[in-house]
Structure 1
């Protein structure tokens, strides 16, 4: 088997849905202990009281949780990874999993990036944010963006997933107008963030993060290629991966580029690791896919899990969820 291991981007996940896993799973507890030492506080307690807008806590929590799932997979699954990747923040999780960025450095990246981001966004003349929605195709979305811009609003397309899930960044007034246009077109709002991403509006932030945060961390060559969600390139050089993570701030995400990279890497199966299952259906359209979540680890005995076989191949036993799996 040739597997690609993929880590999703940040998706709102309530503490109640993952509390049992974080407090009882041995892998999660180990990752949380190390995080507590680096951050200087109890991450699980902070996550309990946090919202998605508490960037440091939320990102560090997702990082610890996702890596704990990957640790479980290391000990329980029989995979043959040929590449890894991640969407947006998931690419940072993937870099840690692949040994490109040490876990303590990733936690420092989260902490210091939050400091810079809060300062940069707080100094903007108008608030910037990002609005996620679904059930509209890319052509329609681009048309709505063009209409809002023609009306004088500042908005840019940020994320194009699966030709049905999208995100637009812009000023608060521009995003308010996009919500109206999306609703009129039959789309459904998902959630909003109080920061813009994957767009040219944050070029200044990208440059500050490069100078004040990323250059002071340790980056190592990867033994596996990383699937860039910026360009679709396959990267192993540490400087290239670091710069790709930074460029993700200013470049729209197009899932088609990731799909093409999965094919170029020669993967015939994908394992998606994270707190939610949303991304499984994206990779499923390219290769057979398993999704590993806290729920799949808690609710299914390891011996009952099976990874999907590549298309046209016989199904082979392995330890993985019917909807789950990982390295």
Structure 2
């Protein structure tokens, strides 16, 4: 599994539903988060915590910025308290924003503004387009069974796209919200289980319009640098080492399905034996394909609240 001198990687997880009631206390008392919050508030000219507390929207712009801050701050904590010094970096789905900051492709303040502006751009887009689509994450569905169920949708002329392959039997599928319940019943009939659905949808070819809008309205205003830490692309496992590749990766997330197995393959090929998943993660550190191949350290808000003797690093 590893070379004689095993290498390590930091993984920033994708974003699930994020609520102030779940992480607000952690954000107010954790010194690593508080340092990053101060920098984010200055970058945006407003209080992230106040916006997060009052917005009450799982994927609103302040929820997204808060998730980004928590992920970067938890990586700070891993560096200071666990000696994390990764050789590679992975940003899975939404985790790309944290990877952009941690890898040095953008300064933290700029990455904060990018996260905020991307969220607002997406909101404007979905107020006009694809309001009827959702993305469902499901598990315990073998490839053959999934192909059968999706084939039935094709026969009925129902739109659908596979938005992700996460593990053996775990997938993401985008479809019309009107057929979500019947699709979930069909998944149950083949022995599968529906985990959660996301609206607006994510990671599918039908969102090329969103990609184009983000490129024109948001990314054009940010000057990315070559990442100082190689980033592994979350859709094909390729290594991202230049500013232009990083820009493309941030755009690819809109209209490319995420695939975790190629990421695992690349990490293994690079001699990685240990991964630290830093962020509020409910998925990546638990996947069989992750735990089977790596020594996994999960550092989320719950683990971070445990006492530590090491003082946080001061913000630069």
TM-score where L is the length of structure 1: 0.86
Deviation at 1:125, TM superposition (A): 6.2
Partner of 1:128: 133
Alignment of 1:162-177 (within 5 A): 162-177=167-182
Moved more, 99-108 or 80-89: 99-108
CA shift digits 1:257-301 (9 cap, x unpaired): 111111122211111111134211232222111111111121254
Partner of 1:284: 291
Alignment of 1:55-204 (within 5 A): 55-124=60-129, 127-204=132-209
Give the aligned CA root-mean-square deviation in angstroms: 2.0
Alignment of 1:246-325 (within 5 A): 246-282=251-287, 283-301=290-308
CA shift digits 1:95-126 (9 cap, x unpaired): 21111122222222222222322222222265
Aligned length: 303
Partner of 2:3: none
Distance 2:210 2:251 in 1: 10
- What SS class does the counterpart of residue 231 from structure 1 fall into? coil
Contact 2:97/2:115 (<8 A) preserved: no
Partner of 2:7: 2
Partner of 1:219: 224
Deviation at 1:225, TM superposition (A): 1.2
Deviation at 1:142, TM superposition (A): 3.0
Distance 1:51 1:128 in 2: 22
CA shift digits 1:151-209 (9 cap, x unpaired): 12111111111123322112222434422322322322222222121111101111111
CA shift digits 1:46-71 (9 cap, x unpaired): 22344454431111010011111111
1:23 alignment partner, one of 16, 25, 28: 28
Contact 2:64/2:119 (<8 A) preserved: no
**Higher RCO (C-alpha 8 Å, min separation 6):** 2
Distance 1:66 1:31 in 2: 10
- What SS class does the counterpart of residue 230 from structure 1 fall into? coil
TM-score where L is the length of structure 2: 0.89
Distance 1:126 1:25 in 2: 37
